[in-house]
Structure 1
Amino acid sequence: MKRLKIGDLLEIKTNKGYFYAQYTHQVESYGTLVRVFNNSCPSRPDNIAEILNGDIRLTTFFPLRSAIKRGDVVVVGNYPVRSDLVELPIFRIRGVNFVNPKAAIWFLWDGVNKVKVDQLSDEQKGYPIASVLTYELFIHRLETGWTLREDGLS
């Protein structure tokens, strides 16, 4: 298998068409971070680089190497990461509240520091969740149009 490089553009075939993502970061404790672009396409577009200008639908850690090895994901090019995607985003992490299990404890993590917050603001509810998705859950979220605001945890 060819070595992955930051900036690799990924093609993911689903029942809803093709989705495209870019590999933007390698994070020691979570692995490969991919940013999935918003729209699906019925087939590979003629000018694939135009996809890179689109909005981001999903930011998540994902076992990319194994998905490529199985043929579930294909690298279709390598492009510079957009300036607004170069920095690692701030993630939210749900902690366990042993006193009241129904009440959430939240942490915000920037890749280095983790800070506890009592309640997520509306903006923070849109932060990506620091977790590694299985291939099946990754595809499910793409096909169903799942968004961070529908996670049921906020």
Structure 2
Amino acid sequence: MKQFQPGDIIEVKLQNGFGYLQVTHNHPAYPEVVRALPGRHNKRPGDIAKLAAEKTAFTCMLPLFSVIEKGTLAGEKIGSTKIPSADSTFPTFRTPIRDKQGNVVYWWFWDGEGLRYDAEPDASTDGMPMREITTADTLIEKLSAA
């Protein structure tokens, strides 16, 4: 499976400008893990490293190389830069486990290697990304709102 590499910066064409992603991790069983860089831009920023040093808007997994190669997402690699230390560790993703009525019974947490669960996680887990493969359409919606 072809993938972009950690540190790669990808420019994504949005309806009214551009959004930017940085690949943070590759996992042998999943597509690229990416962090969205903040803001929607009318033109390519002059200093990509400065943009990449800013706080992450959101993190997700998606087959980025594949959706760009197939034309599902309009984007291109524009460079590569250092991943900020806050994003250098593989992120912990969360998954709700629901009962038949749809209520969350507990949460699974996956750190790229192992799983753990918690029936009553504290608020610190609320900002963790969901363990799901994001679609190109969902990515565009989230980037447009970032």
TM-score bracket for the superposition, by shorter chain length: 0.7 to 0.9
> Deviation per CA, 1:33-68, whole angstroms, max 9, x where unpaired?
010011121111122221111110110001111222
Structure 2 letter corresponding to 1:90: T
Q: Secondary structure at the match of 1:126?
A: coil
Structure 2 letter corresponding to 1:86: S
The equivalent residue for 2:82 is 80
5+ residue gaps, structure 2: none
Kept in 2, the 8 Å contact 1:67–1:73? The answer is no
Give the Cα–Cα distance (whole angstroms) in 2 for the partners of residues 47 and 116 of structure 1: 41
Give the Cα–Cα distance (whole angstroms) in 2 for the partners of residues 135 and 56 of structure 1: 19
**If the length of structure 1 is used for normalisation, what is the TM-score?**
0.83
Give the Cα–Cα distance (whole angstroms) in 1 for the partners of residues 62 and 90 of structure 2: 15
From the superposition, tell whether residues 104 and 15 of structure 1 become closer, same or farther in structure 2 (CA, over 3 Å).
farther
**If the length of structure 2 is used for normalisation, what is the TM-score?**
0.87
Larger strand percent: 2
Give the Cα–Cα distance (whole angstroms) in 2 for the partners of residues 33 and 22 of structure 1: 9
Most deviating of 124-133 and 42-51: 42-51
From the superposition, tell whether residues 141 and 104 of structure 1 become closer, same or farther in structure 2 (CA, over 3 Å).
farther
Task: Give the C-alpha shift of residue 91 in structure 1.
Answer: 1.3
Kept in 1, the 8 Å contact 2:5–2:26? The answer is no
> Deviation per CA, 1:96-154, whole angstroms, max 9, x where unpaired?
324x4323421111111211111232110111111111101111122234xxxxxxxxx
The equivalent residue for 1:10 is 10
Structure 1 letter corresponding to 2:40: S
Give the Cα–Cα distance (whole angstroms) in 2 for the partners of residues 106 and 3 of structure 1: 29
Runs of 4+ in 1 over 3 A off after TM superposition: none
Structure 2 letter corresponding to 1:24: T
Kept in 2, the 8 Å contact 1:97–1:105? The answer is no
| Residue 124 (1) aligns with residue 125 (2) | yes
Kept in 1, the 8 Å contact 2:11–2:75? The answer is yes
The equivalent residue for 2:59 is 59
Give the Cα–Cα distance (whole angstroms) in 2 for the partners of residues 3 and 91 of structure 1: 20
Over aligned residues, Cα RMSD in angstroms? 1.9
Task: Give the C-alpha shift of residue 30 in structure 1.
Answer: 2.3
